[in-house]
Amino acid sequence: MPPVSQKFPIVPLAILDASHIDVRLHQGYDMSTTPYADSRLAKYIDLRISQLRHKNQAEIAREAGFANANFISMLKTGNAKLALDRVPAFAKALEDDPAVIMRLAIEQTHGAEMLKLITDLLGEPLTYNERAWLKLIREASSNTDPAPARTITRVLKLFLHDSEADPTAK
């Protein structure tokens, strides 16, 4: 049998009988690599966990309903992908918005083109914070659906830009 790190050509599994099926038969698959390491989700999870100083990975795994705490490490390093049905519980364990995690998980699982297609068809999912902004606008305008005025747009952009520069302004 060839070494694990050897790359195999694409072989249609339908032409193989059970004695020839090898899980490594996939173009470019190398068991020593991390297939999702460059995904934005893996990077985001790594960053978010480092921000959660009051929780360790075992606690996050337990809260998310993962049987094995090592799965969190696998997600962080890109060795595993996050199943879409696990997003709500995982986002809650990360103390994060499920819409943010879902967008990244769809992108990781199905690619940026599929995420764009879903967004084009169903609209951009709103985060909790975005929903709060919309509620504020609706309350302030007595639900009149105001058009974005240039002055308000400039003030809002300036405000948001300044609050991003100052981490204490939340």
3-state secondary structure 24-51: CCCECCCCCCCCCCCCHHHHHHHHHHHH
Q: Give yes or no: residues 118 and 64 share one domain.
A: yes
What percentage of the chain's residues is helix, strand, coil (to nearest 5)?
55, 0, 40
**Mean pLDDT across the stretch 139-155?**
88
Going by pLDDT thresholds of 50, 70 and 90, the confidence category of residue 63 is very high
More confident residue, 120 or 156: 120
Judge whether 89 lies within some domain.
Answer: yes
pLDDT of residue 163: 53
Q: Give yes or no: residues 53 and 97 share one domain.
A: yes
User: Are the C-beta atoms of residues 60 and 49 closer than 8 Å to each other?
Assistant: yes
More confident residue, 166 or 41: 41
Q: Give yes or no: residues 44 and 80 share one domain.
A: yes
**Mean pLDDT across the stretch 132-160?**
88
pLDDT of residue 13: 35
- Segment 16-53, tens digit of pLDDT: 333 333 333 344 445 457 889 889 999 999 999 999 99
Domain that holds residue 57: 40-122
Going by pLDDT thresholds of 50, 70 and 90, the confidence category of residue 88 is very high
Q: How many domains would you assign to the chain?
A: 3
**CA distance linking residue 143 with residue 147, whole number of Å:** 12
pLDDT over threshold 50, residue 103: yes
pLDDT of residue 74: 95
Judge whether 14 lies within some domain.
Answer: yes
User: Are the C-beta atoms of residues 81 and 109 closer than 8 Å to each other?
Assistant: yes
Q: Give yes or no: residues 86 and 115 share one domain.
A: yes
Q: Give yes or no: residues 143 and 88 share one domain.
A: no
pLDDT over threshold 80, residue 107: yes
Judge whether 134 lies within some domain.
Answer: yes
Judge whether 170 lies within some domain.
Answer: no
Q: Which of 19-33, 76-90, 116-130 has the highest mean pLDDT?
A: 76-90
What proportion of the chain, given as a percentage, has pLDDT over 90?
A: 51
Q: Give yes or no: residues 115 and 152 share one domain.
A: no
Question: In sequence order, what are the residues at sequence separation of 6 or more whose Cβ sits closer than 8 angstroms to the Cβ of residue 125?
Answer: 99, 102, 103, 119
Terminal C-alpha separation, the chain: 58
